[in-house]
Amino acid sequence: MNVSTTSQTAPALLRVLSDGTRLRALALLAREELSVGELSRCLAMTQSRVSNHLRVLREHDLLIERRSGTSTFLRAALGAGSADSAADRLWSAVAPDLDAVPEAEADRLRLLGVLAERNTDDASFFDRMAGDWDKVGALFARGEARQRAAAHLLPAGLTFADLGCGTGYVARALVGLCSRLVCIDRSEGMLEEAERRLREQGASGTEMEFRRGELDALPLEDGELDGAVAAMVLHHLPELDPALHEMRRALKPGGTLSVIELMPHREAWMHADLGDRHLGLDPTEVQAAFARAGFTDLRVEPLDDRYCPVPSAQQPNTDPRGGESVALALYLVRGRVPQS
């Protein structure tokens, strides 16, 4: 039923649109036709509270209703009316700014979830959702599910090592991908912290060992490892060759070594703050050291990531930017031990 035209006067409409919840509801209903229950879920509110706001919007002819069985579906009666419509003129002025409302993004994501449930049998729906699906279909608390799925693609019984493990930030990604994980570092303090963090994370079927040792004298048997990672450690070494020969010795025939390193840079404060011996390493030099150590199937690739250290406040005169973080380029070098 239509009410008098006074309900469409500018003062009356301004009072209606001054409420944030009603604006959020109209923004959703301008995108999609929704039932009252679906709208409540999108707004993360009780249905009774949403119904009170819908009553106000109905009184001002701002909704179009459609019944389907026992359900009532709603959509906004805005944006397609006459140029003489006060409601359409006000909506045209307000709508472009609604994406800036703090709750707008959460409302939209909940809307995508509601529509996904409604359209699970509709392949065209997923075509439309492709651009936003990572925001809805890939929201996991820890990411452990996909890591466990990847782990089951690998052969059972593998032994990996994190060489120069530090506090275990790389080792955390290896837990669950192998049967045994050996963490090695020259610092007892680093090893203790790595063990504490990894034990708290949980083993996920991986037996973990923590060994103190140098990269050029690894506490590993010949051919003990199926694979190893050395992340951000080579630039701490005086020479590359002794460490890479040791890593090759500890790997089985066919075993793989992956190294993550910094591209050459000019952040001299990292000598004092982070103990870096070299300001990054040229990837061609690292690749050549791999070859000299006897690795084959060499591969060098840039990484879509950055290392972002922050200068220490204890070294105030070493950083010209006054303590701001930097973003340093990374690359990966991979090599395999020959099968024969």
Query: Could you please report the per-residue DSSP string of 268-285?
Result: THHHHHH--SSS---HHH
pLDDT, residue 137, reads 59
pLDDT, residue 257, reads 97
The enclosing H or E element of 337 equals: none
- How many residues belong to the chain? 340
Residue closest to 226 by CA, chosen among 241, 206, 212, 240: 206
CATH number attached to the domain at 5-136: 1.10.10.10
Full pLDDT tens readout for the chain, 340 residues: 344 444 567 788 888 888 888 888 898 998 889 998 899 998 989 988 999 999 999 888 889 998 887 778 999 887 654 445 777 888 888 788 887 777 888 888 888 878 877 765 555 666 666 666 666 555 565 666 776 777 778 888 999 999 999 999 999 989 988 999 999 999 999 999 999 999 888 767 899 999 999 999 999 999 999 999 999 999 999 999 999 999 999 999 999 999 999 999 999 989 888 888 999 999 999 999 999 999 999 999 998 889 998 887 544 444 444 556 788 999 999 999 999 7
Which residue ranges make up each domain of the chain?
5-136, 144-336
Q: Cα(109)–Cα(56) distance, rounded to whole angstroms?
A: 25
Q: How many CA atoms lie within 13 A of 291 on its CB side?
A: 9
Strands 159-163 and 251-262: unpaired
Is there a common fold for 5-136 and 144-336?
no
Q: How far is CA 164 from CA 55, 100, 261, in A?
A: 65, 46, 13
Residue carrying the six token digits 């089951």: 152
Structure tokens at 95: 């709508």
pLDDT, residue 20, reads 86
Residue carrying the six token digits 């006459």: 82
One of 2.60.40.1260, 3.30.465.10, 3.90.25.10, 3.40.50.150 is the CATH number of 144-336, namely 3.40.50.150
pTM for the full predicted model: 0.60
pLDDT, residue 254, reads 96
Cβ contact 129:116 at 8 Å: yes
pLDDT, residue 278, reads 93
Cβ contact 308:328 at 8 Å: yes
